[in-house]
Amino acid sequence: MWPAFIDAFLIFWYRIPQNPWAGFCLGTSVLALLCVLAGEFTLSLGYLVNRRKITGDSRDMVAMHNLSVRALEVGDEPGYKACNKVANEAFGRAFFMQIALAAATLWPVPWALHWMGKRFGAVEFPMPLSVPAVGDHVSYAFMFLLFYVLARIGFKSIRHKMPYFGRFHRSLLEEKAKIPAYRSFPGFGRGDG
Amino acid sequence: MKSRTPVFAVCFILVFVPLILFLLSGNALADALSDAIQKAITEGKIDAGAKPGYLGIPGGSDVSYIIGFLWAIWVGWIFSSVGAFGGIMAGVGHITVFGLGDYAKSFGKGDLLNKAITDSIRVSNQWLVGLSAFISSLNYYRMGRLVLPLGVCLAIGSILGSYLVPYLTAGKINLSAYLGYFGVVVFIIGGFLFYETTPRGQARKKEAKAAATAFEKSIKDKGEGRQVPAGVKVSNWGVSRIRFSFYGVEFSFSPIVPVIGGFAIAAVASFIGVGGGFLFVPFLTSIAGLPMFLVAGTSALTVLIGMIVSIFTYMVTQEVIVDWGLIGIELIGIFVGSMIGPRTSKYIPDIWLKRIFVLLALYVGILYTTKGFFGRSWLPPF
């Protein structure tokens, strides 16, 4: 089901080094990086299309939540309950948008696992030691996840210097600045409390 | 601040260890399916030389990725515009629209392939919800909204439910039984939506909005208002009751309530293949009476923990497999649908959207419960 040119492009990187382990590391790094870039690009499209809605929902949720914290501060329990109920509705709207953005970021991962399953499904990657109930080898899925996590960490550290993603990241920070800060309950969170 | 380290440690142990174990042991995954295929070949139910279809089964149902994509757009649209029903619609897609239900059923009751495909449908649904729960939990952790006492109580129940259900039911549930229970859950969700459309539900919503606005106004008028002791104070940490106050307002819950609630909700979610967030949020706010601050993050984390335990148990210990390509195309569709949703739903009043989905829930509920429990659907498609 994979078009030949995509398969050829992805496997190309695995075949550059002579050493099979080096080839696997290079190929999987490229695959993981492509997944991160494709996911982040889709996320940026989502933001561009629905920027107002995303910011609006988040602002409503935080504002109403902060108001409920304020109600607690002044000991107004009915006020707190009312604000909490409205905040829950705002949370619902923001939550579903968050799911959409999660889908935007992660959609390439199952595809990568699908492709790797076709290419490396039968390969057993030996571990230096045997883990009880697991055995002495790992699957392609574990190897991919490892490279994917590293690729995400790497991307996060350099995105602000990248041509398109740097601009998007800056605009995202500007949008976030428009949303009031979360007031959290001291002792439970990281907020200003 | 002190509570964050143990919270993170507990989260890490509960969430990532099963995930890592699952990924470590990938090679045994297809064994159960291979056995089921071999058995079906021996019994002459499938042709070994036929073109591989769903999950690589020779002559298997050929799920169209285009239909998968289009259906997922619909799922994403519902998610974003109604705020519910997305997981159910994803299930309807796997069972009916992609034809996997009829395909599983074609092997007959008690057949291994029937059960393997049913399990695959359940786990596919859970992957879709689990991925988003993972992202949400990360965000909530960053916000500092994961709460240890409540989270631990919920997680104990959730882990138990999420482990026992796959352990006891994987490879044992026929599609018809699954359909029946799926239909029942659809009725429950439909009931929630219906309540919101009733005059009482609407009035409560209006009252809450009015009270919130009144409070906002009174705060502006009063300025700083009465000052009460700030912060969270746990006054009683006991087996029978945990009491704490936020800014002088007293809250309390019996630890057994979230444990039982977590168990029941995770068991239902794991059995049907949904997240359970739709049950956790009303459970924690209405029954346990806890604030949104605690509910949102804690329920996302509980969904995630339950989901990972459930997926791990299905895929590692019970050797269930999924079609990664189908999940990938569904994620794209859900994203596209969720982007369209907010742009189109503003033309339809919220209450009418909910009424439409109450009718849809009634239809899907009757369709699946009758097909599942009585062997024949009372509504088309028969």
Instruction: Using alpha carbons, list the distances in angstroms from residue A2 to A31, A116, A117, B323.
Output: 15, 11, 12, 14
Taking alpha carbons only, the member of A96, A35, A112, A142 closest to residue B129 is A96
Mean pLDDT, chain A, rounded, equals 82
d(CA B372, CA B185): 13
- Please report, in tens digits, the pLDDT of each residue of chain B (382 residues total): 344 444 444 444 444 554 555 554 444 445 667 788 888 888 888 888 888 888 888 888 788 889 999 999 988 888 777 666 777 788 888 888 888 888 888 888 778 888 888 888 888 877 776 665 666 666 566 555 555 667 777 888 888 888 888 888 877 788 888 889 889 888 888 887 788 788 887 777 777 777 777 777 776 665 554 555 544 566 777 777 877 665 566 767 788 888 888 888 888 888 877 767 667 777 776 666 666 556 666 777 777 777 777 877 777 666 677 888 888 898 888 888 888 877 776 677 777 877 888 888 899 899 989 988 888 888 887 6
Residue B181 touches chain A, beta carbons under 8 Å: no
Q: ipTM of this complex > 0.85?
A: no
CA distance B327 to chain A (A): 6
Residue B282 touches chain A, beta carbons under 8 Å: no
Amino acid at A175: E
Q: Which residues of A fall within a CB distance of 8 Å from B205? A: 85, 89
pLDDT score of B137:
66
The two counts, helices (H) then strands (E), for chain A are: 6, 2
Q: What are phi and psi of B245, to 5 degrees?
A: -125, 140
Taking alpha carbons only, the member of B175, B189, B158 closest to residue B116 is B175
Beta pairing partners, B243:
B236, B252
Segments of chain A scoring below 50 in pLDDT: 186-193
Tokens standing for residue B98? 């992609």
Cβ count near A6 (within 10 Å): 11
Cβ count near B224 (within 10 Å): 9
For residue B143, give the nearest of A100, A107, A189 by CB distance.
Answer: A189
CA distance A43 to chain B (A): 9
For residue B208, give the nearest of A72, A86, A95 by CB distance.
Answer: A86
Tokens standing for residue B126? 């859970």
In chain B, positions 108-167, which contact chain A (CB-CB < 8 Å)? 127, 131-132, 134-136, 139, 142-145, 147
CA dihedral for B118, B121, B124, B126, sign (positive or negative): negative
Q: Which residues of A fall within a CB distance of 8 Å from B139? A: 98
| b/e map A89-121, b = 16+ CB within 10 Å | bbbbbbbbbbbbbbbbbbbbbbbbbbbbbebbb
> Which residues are CB-contacts of B159 (< 8 A; sequence separation ≥ 6)?
B14, B266, B305, B306, B309
pLDDT score of B69:
92
The reported pTM is 0.75
DSSP secondary structure, B142-186, as one string: HHT---HHHHHHHHHHHHHHHHHHHHHHTTT--HHHHHHHHHHHH
Q: What is the pLDDT of residues A77-132, one digit of tens each?
A: 778 777 877 777 777 677 777 777 878 888 899 999 989 988 888 787 887 777 66
What count of Cα atoms within 13 Å lies in the side-chain half-sphere of residue A14?
13
For residue A117, give the nearest of B83, B324, B339 by CB distance.
Answer: B324
8 Å CB contact of B80 and A96: yes
Residue B231 touches chain A, beta carbons under 8 Å: yes
Q: Which residues of A fall within a CB distance of 8 Å from B295? A: 88
Tokens standing for residue B220? 């502006």
What count of Cα atoms within 13 Å lies in the side-chain half-sphere of residue A172?
14
d(CA A186, CA A78): 21
Could you write out the three-class secondary structure of B258-283?
HHHHHHHHHHHHHHHCCCCHHHHHHH
Among chain B residues, the shortest Cα distance to A114 is held by B324
What is the DSSP-derived secondary structure letter of residue B58?
B
Amino acid at A26: L
> Under DSSP, is residue B237 helix (H, G, I), strand (E, B) or coil?
strand
Amino acid at A181: A
Residue B346 touches chain A, beta carbons under 8 Å: no
CB B27 within 8 A of CB B316: no
